[in-house]
Structure 1
Amino acid sequence: MFGQLRYLISESFRGWKQHRTVILPSLLTIFLCSLLLASSLTVLGAVFRVLSAEGTLYTVEAFLPENVGADSVAVIKSRMEHFRGIETVEFVSADSALADFRRHFPGEMLDLVDDNPIPPFFRMTLVKESRNPADLEEIVSAISREGFFDEVQAPVDWATRVSEWKFRMVFWPVCLSLLLLVTLSLIICNSVRLSLLSRRLLVENMKYAGGSPFFIEFPFVLEGMMQGLVGSGLAVVLLLAVVKSVAQAIPLVAANIGGLGNLLCLVVLMVTLVSAYFSYRTVQDFLLAKRNERD
């Protein structure tokens, strides 16, 4: 049994050497398609990360006058908690706002001023039903008309852009990924079919000699698996090197590439399994066609 398995494995590698004019173009195409597939899924992962943070866009910050008293703060907070469309209300004092600013920005930005330039404010989040650009803009306008605040702001423009592009940001990467999977399947089928045609006499002799379907199919399936593994593996290594280079130059990218390794491993596994499956199907169809010809 082990002797036969060693023979089948060696036959797969022999096929790579003897039919390299067919294998190498197929391997290069698998590499390019896998690179595009991995890039598309990486972009899709980034899109989902952005969409998961979409809720933070529906936050309103209302800045109070610097001399507002504690009693007034309590009254205003109670009023905002009962405001239509508001889910949570958080009061941020001037000292807390300054400490938060220093954590996120260099202190040199505040060296030019003597006092704390950041006034106290309320940070309010919207209920889920109101998390859309139209309601956000309406709530900002309504809060501004209350007259309690010096300024009311919210990222309405960003919320509008994300809302408008949400469908396209998900739809096109998904379509591209599916198209690339179909393309990979066709490439693998064509490569295995050409390899079968070039070794047609060998396959037929093995069949006539009583070779089992496993004995005939295994070298071609292993050959297809190796094409998928090598092609997608090289593509993933290249993409990972590019992403890490970009992450070193742009800290924002470095902070948002968590889980990329698992995603790229999934791409390699997926391409390898697709290669194995369609190699198996191609050999099956070939043997079935030959059986029908004899009948």
Structure 2
Amino acid sequence: MFGQLRYLISESFRGWKQHRTVILPSLLTIFLCSLLLASSLTVLGAVARVLSAEGSLYTVEAFLPENVQEDSVAAIQARMEHLMGVDSVEFVSADSALADFRRHFPGEMLDLVDENPIPPFFRLKLAKELHNPASLEETVDALSREGYFEEVQAPVDWATRVSKWKFKMVFWPVCLSLLLLVTLSLIICNSVRLSLMSRRLLVENMKYAGGSPFFIEFPFVLEGVMQGFLGSGLAVVLLLAIMESVAQAVPLVAANIGGLGSLLCLVVLLVTLISAYFSYRTVQEFLLAKRNERD
């Protein structure tokens, strides 16, 4: 059994050597398609991160005067909690706002001022059903008309941009990924079919000699697996090197590439499985066609 397995593996590598004029172009095309597929899925992952944080855009900050009284704060908060579409209201004191600022920004930015420049404010979060730019802008306008806020701000522009491009940011990477998967399947099928045609006489002799389907299919399936694994592996290594270089130059990218390694490993596994499946299917169709010819 092990002797036959060694023979089948050596036959697969022999096929690579003998039919390199067919296999190398296919390998190069698989590499390019895998690179595009990995890039497309990386973009899709980044879009998913952006959309997961979309809810944080629907937050309004209403700043109070510095000398506001505590009883006034409680009254204003109670009034705001009854506003239509408000999910939660949080009061942030001046000291808490300053501490939060120091956690996210260097302290040198505050060294030029003697006192705390950040006033107390309310942070309102809209209900999920009102996560749209129009509702956000209406809430900002409604709070701005109240006389007890010095300033009301919200990322309306960013919410509008994300809402406008949300469908396109998801649709096009998904379409490109599906198109690349179909292209990879056709490339692998064509490569295996050409390899079968070039070894047609050998396959027929093995069949007539009583070779089992596994004995005939294994070398071709292994060739397809090696093409898929090698092509996608090289593409993933190249993309990972590019992303690491970009992350070193742009800290924002470095903070948002978590899980990229797992995603790229998934690409290698996916392309390898596709290669194995369509190689097996192509050999099966070839053997079935030959059986029908004899019948």
TM-score, L = length of structure 1 = 0.99
2-structure distance, mates of 1:155, 1:86: 16
Aligned partners of 2:35 and 2:89: how far apart in 1? 46
What's 1:209 paired with? 209
Structure 2 CA distance, aligned partners of 1:129 and 1:150? 28
CA distance in 1 between partners of 2:204 and 2:42 (Å): 44
1:72 and 1:130 mapped to 2: Cα distance?
A: 28
SS of structure 2 residue aligned to 1:68: coil
Which stretch has the larger CA shift, 76-85 or 173-182? 76-85
The match for 2:17 is: 17
CA distance in 1, matches of 2:147, 2:173: 46
Note the C-alpha offset of 1:249.
1.4
Q: Who is 1:126 aligned against?
A: 126
* 1:221 equivalent in structure 2: 221
Alpha-carbon offset, residue 232 of structure 1: 0.4
Q: Distance in 2 between matches of 1:107 and 1:139?
A: 33
* Structure-to-structure mapping, 1:207-286, within 5 angstroms: 207-286=207-286
Shift of 1:117: 1.1
Counterpart secondary structure, 1:190? helix
In structure 2, what is the equivalent of residue 189 of structure 1? Answer: 189
Q: Which residue of 2 aligns with 1:69?
A: 69
The one-letter amino acid paired with 1:195 is S
What is the distance in 2 between the residues matched to 1:68 and 1:107?
26
Map 1:33-48 to 2 at 5 A.
Answer: 33-48=33-48
Q: Distance in 1 between matches of 2:244 and 2:279?
A: 34
2:59 aligned with 1:59, yes or no? yes
**Deviation readout 1:234-257 (Å, 9 max, x if unpaired):** 111111111111111111111111
Letter matched to residue 6 of structure 2 = R
Runs of 4+ in 1 over 2 A off after TM superposition: none
Larger CA deviation: 37-46 vs 96-105 = 96-105
How far off is 1:142 after superposition?
0.6
Confirm or deny that 1:82 pairs with 2:87. no
TM-superposed deviation, 1:107: 1.6
- Name the CA distance, whole Å, in 1 between partners of 2:62 and 2:85: 15
> Superposition pairs for residues 88-99 of structure 1, below 5 Å?
88-99=88-99
For residue 107 of structure 1, what is the aligned residue in structure 2?
A: 107
**Per-residue deviation, 1:105:** 1.2
- SS of 2:87's equivalent in the other structure is strand
CA shift, 1:96, in A, is 1.1
Q: CA offsets, 1:161-211, max 9 Å, x none? A: 101111111010000000000000000001001101111111111111111
Give 1:50's aligned residue. 50
SS at 1:5 equivalent: helix
d(CA) in 2 for partners of 1:47 and 1:129? 21
Residue 141 of structure 1 and its aligned partner are, at CA, apart by 0.4
1:273 maps to a residue whose letter is L
Kindly state the Cα deviation for residue 95 of structure 1 after the two structures are TM-superposed.
1.2
Matching residue's letter, 1:217:
E
> What's the C-alpha RMSD, in Å, of the aligned pairs?
0.8
Q: Which amino acid aligns with 1:149?
A: F
In 1, Cα distance between equivalents of 2:254 and 2:7: 47
Offset, 1:258: 1.1
TM-score (norm 2): 0.99
Distance 1:232 1:129 in 2: 42
In the alignment, the residues of structure 2 paired with residue 130 and residue 217 of structure 1 have an alpha-carbon distance, to the nearest angstrom, of: 58
Residues in 2 aligned to 1:242 and 1:252: alpha-carbon distance in whole angstroms = 15
Q: State how far apart, in whole Å, the 2-side matches of 1:275 and 1:109 are.
A: 56
Instruction: Tell me the SS of whatever aligns to 1:185.
Output: helix
Instruction: Mark the runs of 5 or more structure 1 residues left unpaired by the alignment.
Output: none
User: How far off is 1:34 after superposition?
Assistant: 0.3
